Amino acid sequence: MLETARRVLPGGSFGNLAGDVVLARGAGGHVWDEDGREYIDYLLGSGPMLLGHAHPEVTAAAQAQIPLGTTFFGNNRRGILLAEAIVDAVPCAEQVRFLSSGTEADLYAMRLARAFRGREKILKFEGGYHGMSDYALMSLAPKRPGNSARPIPDSPGIPASVVEEVIVAPFNDLAAATALIERHAEELGGVIVEPFQRLIPPIPGFLQGLRDVTARLGIPLIFDEVVTGFRFAYGGAQEYYGVTPDLCTLGKICGGGFPLAAIAGRAEIMALFDRATAGEDRFLPQIGTLSGNPVAAAAGLATLAVLRRPGSYDALFATGRQLMASLSEEIQRAGFAAQILGEPPLFDVVFAAEPVVDYRGTLNADAALMKRFNTLLRQRGILKGDSKYYVSCAHDADDIAATREIWASALKALKAG
């Protein structure tokens, strides 16, 4: 498989992880590669598998839908019911429009905000990830940050004109963000932010401050909740942090492991997707072959039904807190200058002595040390991405104990050089 991958795939991979492992199956909080090697899985498909792999209720829901049809390009019962569940769950959601990926959702959310306000520019935050569109790939990971208000393209192939349409603010700096929003208020179509940026929690008052200034100026505020939606709470980060935006984007968990994403928000703004309501001049067309796919919607409904059960989030957060505490203790025992960054369902170690509150703080971390640590973990049976431990409801006490043993062994090897 590795030889075939190197021949038929650029770089021998799908572009997500390095192509040195080929996964064959998953169950609960574990995956196995083609050689039969087992890993404790903290990658979780980059987050969708919050219930773990092959959850029996999610699998049964998808299997029940497949004989009835796998896609229709039209309304279907499962998609309508999933939209209803999202409206019931998410504070900002009055209406929902489905898509197939988080990139699509973020792209359309920015377009929707610009169309609603009749302005062309978007303000985002340095280091914030909003998919792979031209607008999103501005100052996601600038290697040589300059003036933070002027974006730096993260990829070749992006038209130079896009630089003029994006304003970049520092995350967790409310004074700077407010000043930029006020200065460019007449140009801004919207402000988009990850309420929890990659691994960095918002400092107290930051999100509410964004809400206050955008509301005062009539600028739509978009929360990118593709990662945090249904992960931090049933109502997402906006419930968890207590701040309600005008629009949000969702993905990963609400599709139950199948390709599904959504924009949700105020009916007044979402009405632009409706030609009859918006009128010809303001109507925003959005078409996707697989939008509202019934198999994905069935899997999403089953996932949300499990998450609604009493104690689901208590158990998830308890597991995450135990893992974070264990990793912190092992790091201290090994004597590394490092910190644990994140929230219980989503965290990682950062090899930096100073507190990290924004993207530029992450540049002070020892990236080479992190890479070596991740390699040692993979060799010992932990699968994760370059950053982030995604915690699932399927990880149990045995996984916590085994993970701690692997951390201790890997840190010992890392210390030895």
In the chain, what is the straight-line distance between the N-terminal and C-terminal CA atoms, in Å? 32
Give me the torsion for CA of 91, 96, 99, 101, rounded to 10°.
0
CA–CA dist 2, 24 (Å, integer): 13
Residues with a known catalytic role: 129, 224, 252
CB atoms within 10 A of CB 355: 9
How far, CA to CA in Å, does 156 sit from each of 150, 161, 270, 304, 316? 17, 13, 33, 39, 40
DSSP state of 138: B
Residue 13: burial class (beta carbons within 10 Å; 0-12, 13-18, 19+)? middle
| Edge-to-edge strand list for the sheet holding 30-33 | 23-27, 30-33, 38-41, 382-383
Buried b (16+ CB within 10 A) or exposed e, 207-222: bebbbebbeeeebbbb
Distance in angstroms (rounded) separating the CA atoms of residues 276 and 271? 9
DSSP annotation string for 151-202: --BSSTT--GGGGGGEEEE-TT-HHHHHHHHHHTTTTEEEEEE-SSBTTBPP
